[in-house]
Structure formats: structure tokens, C-alpha cells
Structure 1
Amino acid sequence: MLLRVSFGGVQKYIKLPELTFCDFLREVSLKFNIAEDRRLDIKVYDQSNTEVDCEVFEEIVKEFHGPFLVSLANEAPGNPQSTSSPCSIASEDTVILNFSLCDPAEEPVAAEGSQPKRPCRINYEAKALIEKILTTKPGGDRIMAEYAKTKSITDSTRRQLINILTAEMTETHGTSPPRSVKVMYAQGMVALFPYLEDPYSQNGYEHYYDPESGSGYLAWRLKTIQRKAAEERGPAVSKSPKVGGPGHGRTRPFTADKVLTDEEVECAIALLRHSADEETIREKMKVTFVYPTQSPKEYVDGVRLREHWITSHFNVK
């Protein structure tokens, strides 16, 4: 539980591990360096200047929102004047407390057979974030009005709430927001709508987002958004050329880059007949590919050339 404390013109937050009067006095003393031997001098009053002691502290805190007036008596402990009205205490020894508590109207009435309560731990930054989103986005006011009237929301309203929050989340943080962002949104939801808490879970917001398992309404909606985004990007992504297949690795047919003159053809043939180099033979076969098809005689010469190339290439005798 967080308490805002103002002492000597300085404001600080103190955190109470348990809602007890002793813990309250100890934390105030530690935060403002009040001597331990003066801890018993601290007096707590409500707005009617009625003193609050350890017997009624917890009950008063649940019913009274504050600020509480805490005074540090100038007299030693046991002096009857130390119990005087706060108005008689020096201003520099006055501590004003603003209790940051759950609104009692928002808390379920404890009754036999009712759900167990957990200590109230509110992330006020997250609560303000969710409230800002709902008050600025279309449909958010209707969700808040429905909760204010019924202290609950229907399934369709819950889906709309999740859609609004995840849309804002992805717009600000992308389709894969960090876990801390999802936790903050879940905390803000149960802080703004206390009746939506799960009293049996550790923190009360796990059904909206559970950081341990990555599940919850927020997580499931984000996965749907991610899947749809991937489907939309799918057709636009160019597919890489396929590699392999029956024809992979085969040599393409020879095609002549240009038509040679008769003299160039004769030179190539002469070199082809007397060369044993594979690359040279391949190159000259390529440039003289169309030559054997020009006449019957040339066709016979072409056959001989191919036989010579095969003999040279595969060492066939």
C-alpha cells in the first residue's frame, strides 16, 4: 500500500507491507529520519481532529480516504500536553498523509462464502494509462459507463475493451510489444475496474495477461493481430527462385552468340580438331554450332567434328 506523506514541506511516498498501525509509524519514522525514541510521540488524526489509535486504525483507513493529519509532539513521551489538539503543534512537525487506497465502494462486501480478498496493490500509472485510452477512443466511454452502472461488463463489452487496448498497444509498441507493456495494460485494467480482478490468482490480472505462461485475453488478441498481419504481408513477399529439380546441374544447350564468317569458322574448326583442352573445345563447339547445318557436306563435317569432340572429351578410342 502506498501512502503520500508531506513533512516539513517535502513530500515522499512510503510503502506499507501490512496495513498495521505499528508498520505505519515505523515507515514514517524511517522515511523522515524521526528518532526511534520519538516514535511514540506521533499522533494521528482524521479530518474532524479525532485521534486515531492502533485499535481503530485499520477500520478508519478502510472508511476514510484522508488526508490524515499526523503530528509529532514537541514534549517528551508521557507529558499530558502531548495529547493536545493538532492545532497547538508547531507546523514544522506536521505530517499530512494522502492514503492511496482502493475505493471502498469498489470493494466487494465481505460475507460468508464470498470470494477471498487479496491485498490491494494498484499501479496508478497503469490505471491512468487505461483510463486515458478509454476516454479518447470511440466506445471507451460506453464501456466505463456500463461498468459504473453494473460493476461488471458483458462478454461483448469485454471483447470490445480488449480490442481497443490491443489496437492502442500495437499502434504504440508494434505487433510484438514487450512483456512489461502487456503487464502494465493488464494491471491498469484491474486497477480501473476492480470487480474484474480474479481473486484466486496471484496478482488479479493474470486472466488478461499472465507473464509466466504468455496467455490471457490480451495475449490471445495480439496473436490474432500478428497472424493477420503475416497473412497480409504474405502475397507481397517475393518468393525466392527454386533451386534443384530434375534439370538442376545440367549443361544448357549450346547457342551461338553471333554468326561467324567462313574464315572464322575454318579457324575455329582447325583449332577444334587439334585441341585437347576441354574448355577450348567447349567454346569452339559453341561458336560453330550452326555451321554443320548449312549444307549436306558441311553436315558430314559437323558430325566428324562432334565425333572428334566426344573422343577428346571422354577419352574414347
Structure 2
Amino acid sequence: MIIKVKYFNLKKYVKISKPCLEMFITEVRVKFSIPEDKTLTVTDDGGTEVDADVFPELVTKDVCLVIHDSEGESPASESSGSLTDTLSLLSSQGSEVELSQSKRACLGAEMLQCVTAKDLVKNVLLEKPGGATVLKEYEDTGKICDSSRRQMEHFYDAQSGSGFLAWRLKTIQRKTKYHPESSSSPKAAVVMGGGPTLVRDNSQEDQLQDEQCKEAISLMTHTNERDTIFQKMQETFHFRQGLIHNPETSASVLSMFPRLLDTKGLVLQDFSLLFGAETAARLLERWPSYKPKLIKEAAALVQTPLLQRLLQSARGEQVESSADYHPGWDSDMSTLLLLLHILSLQPAGRKRGHKISARDAIDHLVVFHKSCRSLDEHLDSDERQQPYLLASGTTKRAISAFYIAMDKKLIPCQGNASLAAFDELFKVHFVFSLNYDESLRSMYTFIQTTIYNIDVGSTKESPKLKELRAKLLHDV
């Protein structure tokens, strides 16, 4: 079912599988990149509010639903500081922007700030060599190609990693942005506190307490009945989360619940208890739409031998064998490594002393282990602090089993496909309240906020991550 939707001055089509208002709002947040902390209401184009009971019947009619948020702010795509997002506001509005008094009041301070920035960028481009050509290209095609971006080097300072446009926009945003609370207030202090270590409220019922938990833990240790293990793990979920979020007991969870080490699917169950089945399924459901876009984005980068081999594998093409460690993964894993590669690149001239290369970061995500070798020997020699995938098989394209290596122990993955194994690796961080590996932080955060839509708006994101999301979400 496809519905026409308007959010401020943006109009898009939103697709849902069934006429459910809750599902519709969830997809609207994804389409317009609206943070979870904003309360959304829906009206028809006449201003009448739409409730859940009338939504199924209303969407069968040819109407445009209007989205309103709790703060009356413009969508993130309009307030982004990136050049592409700012220029997208210039597509068909002429050389001057005229807003009525009532419309100014409706749009609010942030929209007026965006209009000011938009005019600034347009005027600068018109004054600088090549700027008019860039504007015309965007008006004709709706986007700016990489060659045009490179022609604008006189706006960019390669040594500092900034430029004239970026500097002016940041100055405007700093001077006009409204700060309703002091940065020292308790609420402001947790604004950017989202992520896998956040303690979350959960309303699971039928949870065991005290002695009942001890009895259930003992029963799980001595039974091999899969259904009983899953039931008791669900009933002790609150107890287990209390242990995990207590620094004094978090290290004992795997020894207290050893069935996590020999029963597949328990990590997936705990993640579903945290976020619900709909959120838990998002990566596997949405990956087919993101995958070709990521391959296209990686193909536009400056090509290296590693990147070329990953692109070949991601496209399903035959890759010649070589002594290099990286070629040979299947299409999904290769695309995930392309995502890591895209987000690991640094602009020319910008140096981060401790940052490792994309090639080395791959080893922090997945390690190939010959099935003829001992797993225990690998764990004994391993010094990694954060969880990673251990892929056991004869070759990287013939993996017989995936494991999540954590605290020198192995948690067996339920699926043998690389995407399903990565899905479980991502979820382990939330189930056990673990920080992301620093070299993989941007990649995990992209998966968290863009695909799973977890803690959107309260998780710190790099400018490159935001730019990539804007490109992918606008490529519809």
C-alpha cells in the first residue's frame, strides 16, 4: 500500500504492508529521518486529525496525509549542514525566498535559519567561478555529480578539512540555533546517550523473582529440552538484564547462563524482548534495498585493489585468488565490508593518529578460521576486547558455522548466512550492553540508527554517516 505524505514542504510516498497507523508512523520516521523523541500526529490535507480507528479506511482514498511533530521543527534533511542537502532546497524556488507572516510563524526559527543558509550558499555559488554551473546541474538533474564536487576545490581547505561554505554555515547555525536548556541540566546531559549500553525500560510479564530465578537457572543447566530453555530464559530476562547492567556482576552472565554458549537463538530472543519483533527483523527485511545503493556508493570512490575485489565479490563476480587476506567473502559480507570501507575513509589532509585503516578494521569485524584448525587455540591466542564474528569453514565462500567470539568464549550463531550472523553480532552489543569497537563505531551506528531506527536523535553520529544516510534515503 502506497500513501502520499507531506512533512513540512517535503512530499514523499510511503509504502506499508498493511493499513496500520503505528506501522505507518514508523515508516514515516524512516522516510523523513525523524528522531524517535519527536511525537508525531497525522492529519488529512484539510487539517482533521487522523486516529488509528479511521486510518485503515482513510488510506484507501486518494488523500495526502500531513505529518506534524511535537516541536514544529523542519525535517533533518532540510537542516543538514551538508552541501548536497542544502542545495536540494534550491531546486525550484527562484533567486529570492518570500515567506508570508503566517508561514514564518509556522516554520519556526530552525526553518528560517535554513532559509538564510540556503540563500547564503546560493549567493556564494553565483559569485564564485563554476558556481552557476553547479546550480544549473542540480536544477536539471536533481543532484550533483562527483566531478562537479571536485571542481569546487576552491571552497575547500585540504589542510584543515573545512572550507568557506562549511565555515559560514556553521557560524550561522551556532548563532541562530535555539538552546532551550543549559548543557549542564540533567536532561541535556543524556541527549546523546543512546546506543547499546543504555538501560531500557521493559514491560515483560511473567518474570521470575529471587528463588524462582535460581530454580530456573538450575533447571536450564540440567535440561536439554530446547523449548524449556527458551521459556526459562524469557522468564529470567529481567534478572539477567539487572546482572548485565551491574558492573560488579556483568562478567558473570555467561557463566551463570551457560546455555547461551550451546543453544542457538537465545541472543535473538533477548533482543526481541528488548525492542520487539518488528524492530528485530529490520536488517534482514531492509538489506535488499540498501545493498545495491551501498555498492553504487562504493563504486564511486577512488578505487584501490582491496576496494575493487570487495566490489567484485559484492556484485557476485568471480574474484581471482591471491595471497591477499580479504578477497573471497560472499556478496552480503563483502557489501558490509564496503560499508565499513566507506565510513572509514578520511578526507585528504585530515589525520587521526589512532585511527586504523579499513583493511585492518575488517579484522575487528570478522575473522576467517580454517575448519581443520582448533577453535580453542584461536581463542587462547586472541586478545580482542569487543565481540566479533569467527567464520569457520574450508574457504570464505564455504562457511560451515559462524560464532560470536566474546570474552574468550564462543556463542553459536543461529544462521549460517553471513548477513544473519552479522545481524546477531550487532544484537549482542545490546543484549550484553557492550560498547562498539572504536574502529567499527561508525558502521555499527549507521546500522543502528539508519536501518534499525534505534535511538535516532540521541546517538552521536559523524558528519560522514549523516551524509551517507541522506544520500541513501533520498535515492528513491
Q: Same fold (TM over 0.5)?
A: no
Structure with larger RCO (C-alpha < 8 A, sep 6+):
2
- Higher-Rg structure is 1
